Chain A
Amino acid sequence: MAPYAFVTPAVILYVLVLLIPIGYTIYLSLEKTEVSGLGLGAGARRQVFAGLSNYSSALADPAFDSSLLRVVIYSVILVPVMLGLALLFALLLDARRVRFQRFSRLSIFLPYAVPTVIATLLWGFLYLPTVSPFPEMLSKFGLSMPNLFTTHVALLSVANVGVWGGTGFNMIVMYTALRAVPSELYEAARIDGASQPQIALRVKIPMIAPALILTGVFSLITTLQVFNEPETLLPLTNTISQGWMPLMRIYNLAFDENNSYEAAALAVIIAVVMFAGSFFLLRASNKRVFQGR
C-alpha cells in the first residue's frame, strides 16, 4: 500500500490541474451554441453537440492560418538570434581572461528579471516616434527614425523584445553547463595545440550540446506561445491586430467574441501540434547528441 499512498498526492494534483482541465477543454471543443429565431429571450440560445465542426472552422479560418505563419516566422527569427547571442555571451564569460566577469554576467541576465509587460511597454514607447527619444538623437546626424510598426518590421520589433528579455536566462543555463565541463579536457586540447576559438568550437560546444538542445526546445515552446508582447503592443499600433498570434486568436475568440467552443478547439490543435513537435524534436536530437554515450 505504501507506494500507492506516496504517489497519491501527485496523482490527485495531476488529475485536478491537468487531466480535468484538458478533458473539459476537449469537451468544450465539441460543443457550440445554437440560436433560435432572433435569439432574444430566455432559452433562445442552447449549447448543443457540434461534432468536429469547431475544428474544421478553426482550420479554415484565414486569420488563424496567417497567425500560424506569423508565429513560425517569428520563431525562426527569434530562437537562433537569442540562442546565438546567449551562446556567444556564455563562451565569452567562460573564456579565461575576462574582466568584470560577475558584473557582465549580472547585467546580461538582468533583462530577464524585468516583467515582460513592463519590458514591452518600455520598448513600445521607444518605438513610437512621438514619445521616443531616438528621433531627436537621430536628427542630430541628419537621420530620421524608420517606422518600426509597418506590417513586416513589426514582427522584428516584437522579436527584439523577446531577444532582449530571453538572452540572459539562456546564457546562464549555457554558462552553468560550461562550468561543469572538466578542465582536463581544455588542458588536453591546449597540449594538442588548439587555440581558444578552436577549444570553444571543438570542445566546449559539443560538450554542452544537451544544454543547447534543452534551451532550444524550451525557447521554441515559449516562442510559439508568444502572447504578452504583442498583446501589450496591440493598442499602440494599427498593425498588430487582435488575432495576430495564435494564442491571441484563442484569447480573442474566447473572450472578445464569446466563442469559447472554437477557442477550445484551437487550443487543442495547438497543444497537439506542440506535443508532437517537441516529442519528435527531442527524439531526433537524443539520437544525435547522446549517441554512444
Chain B
Amino acid sequence: MKLIPTRRRRRAVAIAVAALAAAAAAGCSSSGSSSTQPAAGTSSSAASASARASSGQKVTLTFWTWVPNMDKVVAIWNKTHPDIQVQVQTQAGGDQELTKLLTAAKAGNPPDLAQVEYQVLPTLVTNNYLANIAQYDGSLKSDFPAGNWNQVTLGTGNLYAVPQDAAPMALFYRADLFKKYGLTVPATWAQFAADATKLHSAAPGVYLGSFSAVDPGEFAGLTQQAGAQWWSASGSNWTVGIDDAASQKVASYWQGLVSSGGVDNQPQWTAAWNKGMNDGKYIAWVSDVWAPSDFPTTAPSGTGKWQMTELPQWTSGANLVGNWGGSSTGVMAGSKHQQASAQFAAWLNTDPTATAALVSDGGIYPADTAAEAALSAPPTYFSNQPNFWTLAKQYAAAAANVTWGPDVNVAYTEFQTAFGSAASGKGSFLSPLTAVQSTVVNDMKKSGFTVAAG
C-alpha cells in the first residue's frame, strides 16, 4: 500500500518539473513586457513632466535618435528654450530603434520624439503611432525637396514627421588603392563589374566591397536606381513589385559579382568588416552620403584616402541614384506635449544653427534646402574633397522617388533570412527575391490589405 502515495508524489514531481519547463518557455514569450521596462521609466518621467507643464513650469521631452553627437545639437536648443527641455536617449540604430518604438508605443509609453527612417513611416502610421503635426509644422513644406516631403506626408494632407536628412546613395573608393591596382573609377555598373574581375585576378584577397545581406535598405536603394517600385498605392489597393524585372536585374548582377569573387559575401558593420575597410581588404563601398559619420569609427586610418563619387549608372550618361535610409523627426501619438515636440522638430531640421550643428557634429546631409550655408566645409574625414557637399547636393537632386509600404519591416526581415543563406552559400539571388515578394504579399493579405502583385 505504501507504493501508491510514493508513486503519486513522483508523478507530482514530474508534473512540477514539466510545469517549470513550460513556465520557462512561457517566460520567453512574456519577455516582451520586460523589454519595455526602460520605456516604462520614460513614461513616468513624461508623466511628471506633464504635471510640471500644467503648473506653468518647464516640460521635458524625450527624444530617441541614433545620430552621433545629437546631444550637442540639442544642448543648443536647451540653452535657448528653458521651458522646453529635450532629453536625448541615444539608440543603437534604425532597426533596433524601430523594434523598441513599436513595443513602447504598443505598451502606451513611447518617447515624445523619435528619429524615424523614411521607409518605416508607413508602418508607424498604419499602426497609428505617429501624431499628425500638420497644424504645427505644415508650413515647412517649402523648405524641403518634394520627394522628401511626399515621404513624410505619405501623399496625404497630414504630416507625420519633419524630414531630417536626404540620403542619396554614393560610391566610396580608396583612391590610392584604385591607382595601385590600375582600376578606373567606375561610372557604370558594367565598369564596376569589370573592375571587380580585374581586381580579383590581380589580388584575390582584396574586394570591391561586400554584399551584405543584413542591409536590405542598401539593396532596396540599388533597385530604386534600376527603376523598381517595391510598393505603390492607388485607390485603396497596394501593389507589391519586389520581384519585378528591375530588382531581378540588380539581384542577378550582385549574385554574379559575389560568385565570381570580386565582391565579398560578409555582412557589413561587423568587427571583421571594419578591419577590412580599415586595412585595404575592401577598397570600395557602395554607401550613402551619410557615410562620413561612419568612416571615422569604421576605417580610422583611411582619412584622406577614401573618396566619394557618384553611384555607378546602369546606362552610361544617366543620372539617377537610389536612397538608403534617410530619416525624419516624428512626434509620437502617445506624447502629451505634441505642440512642444513639433516645435522642436521644426527647429532641429530647419533652424540654420541646428542644421549647421547636424552637419558638423552629426555628419548628416540635411534635407532642408536652405541648409547650404552649413555645407561649405567638407567633413573632416573627407577634407581631401572640398566639394563633398556640392556633390551630395547633386546626388540628392538625382535621387529616385520612392513609396514605402506598410510592412517594410516584414520585407527586410525576410530579405535578411533569404539573402543571408544565398550570400553565404553563393547561391541564386533570384529565389530569395521571390521569397521576399511572396512573404510581403501574404503578410499584407493576412492583415486585410488589398494587394496585387506587380
Contact = CB atoms under 8 A, between A and B. Distances in A.
A254 B32 contact: yes
A160 interface: no
Contacts of B18: 275-276, 278-279, 282
Contacts of A260: 32, 106
B102 interface: yes
Contacts of A282: 13-14, 17-18
B421 A130 contact: no
B384 to A, nearest CB: 27
A131 B275 contact: yes
B22 A239 contact: no
A239 B28 contact: no
A22 B23 CA distance: 9
A113 to B, nearest CB: 21
A255 B416 CA distance: 15
Could you say which interface size class chain B belongs to? 35 or more
A269 to B, nearest CB: 10
A283 interface: yes
B454 interface: no
Contacts of B21: 217, 221, 274-275, 277-278
Contact of B32 (A38, A42, A255, A279): A255
Contacts of A35: 126, 406, 447-449
A88 to B, nearest CB: 26
Interface string B105-142: 01000000000000000110111100000000000000
A200 interface: no
Interface string A173-191: 0000000000000000000
Given A125-B271, A243-B417, A274-B22, A238 B213 contact: yes
Contact of B127 (A45, A63, A242, A276): A45
Interface in A87-139: 125, 128-131
Contact of B420 (A38, A238, A276, A279): A238
Contacts, number: 186
A149 B424 contact: yes
Contacts of A271: 22, 25-26, 29
A238 B419 CA distance: 8
A32 B445 CA distance: 12
Contacts of A235: 214, 267, 269-270
Nearest to A284: B14
A255 B127 contact: no
B421 A238 contact: yes
A151 to B, nearest CB: 6
A274 B25 contact: yes
A62 to B, nearest CB: 9
A131 B272 contact: yes
Given A33-B447, A35-B447, A217-B17, A286 B10 contact: yes
B47 to A, nearest CB: 23
A123 B449 CA distance: 44
Given A57-B446, A151-B424, A236-B267, A225 B410 contact: no
Contact of A241 (B28, B127, B420): B420
* Chain B CB within 10 Å, residue with most, of A34, A257, A270, A277: A257
A227 interface: yes
A258 interface: yes
Nearest to A46: B448
A221 B421 CA distance: 28
Contacts of B407: 257
Nearest to A149: B424
Given A252-B413, A258-B409, A283 B24 contact: no
Contacts of A151: 421, 424-425
A45 B419 CA distance: 31
Interface in B251-277: 265-267, 269-272, 275-276
Nearest to B30: A21
A146 B301 CA distance: 29
A264 interface: yes
B156 interface: yes
A25 B26 contact: yes
A267 interface: yes
B156 A40 contact: yes
Residue in A125, A221, A268, A272 whose Cβ sees the most chain B Cβ within 10 Å: A221
B297 interface: no
Contacts of A84: none
B11 interface: yes
Contacts of B446: 32, 57
A40 B127 CA distance: 8
Contacts of A42: 128
Interface in A241-260: 241-243, 247, 250-252, 254-258, 260
B128 A238 contact: no
Interface in B399-429: 406-407, 409-410, 412-413, 416-417, 419-421, 423-425
Contacts of B266: 237-238
A217 B113 CA distance: 47
Contacts of B30: 21, 24-25
Given A151-B425, A235-B269, A242-B413, A40 B154 contact: yes
Interface string B5-38: 0000011011101110111111011111101000
Given A225-B28, A227-B28, A239-B424, A278 B17 contact: yes
A6 interface: no
A195 interface: no
A275 to B, nearest CB: 4
A8 interface: no
Contacts of A276: 18
Nearest to A227: B28
Interface string A24-54: 1100000011111111111111000000000
Interface of B: 10-11, 13-15, 17-19, 21-26, 28-33, 35, 95, 98-99, 102-103, 106, 122-123, 125-128, 154, 156, 158, 212-214, 233, 236, 238, 265-267, 269-272, 275-276, 281, 406-407, 409-410, 412-413, 416-417, 419-421, 423-425, 443, 446-450
9 contacts: A18-B26, A35-B449, A39-B447, A151-B421, A236-B267, A238-B267, A256-B413, A257-B407, A286-B14
Interface of A: 18, 21-22, 24-25, 32-45, 57, 63, 125, 128-131, 149-151, 217, 221-222, 225, 227, 235-243, 247, 250-252, 254-258, 260, 263-264, 267-268, 270-272, 274-279, 282-283, 286, 290
Instruction: Give 8 nearest A-B pairs by CB, closest first.
Output: A267-B29, A241-B417, A275-B22, A279-B18, A39-B126, A282-B14, A130-B272, A271-B25
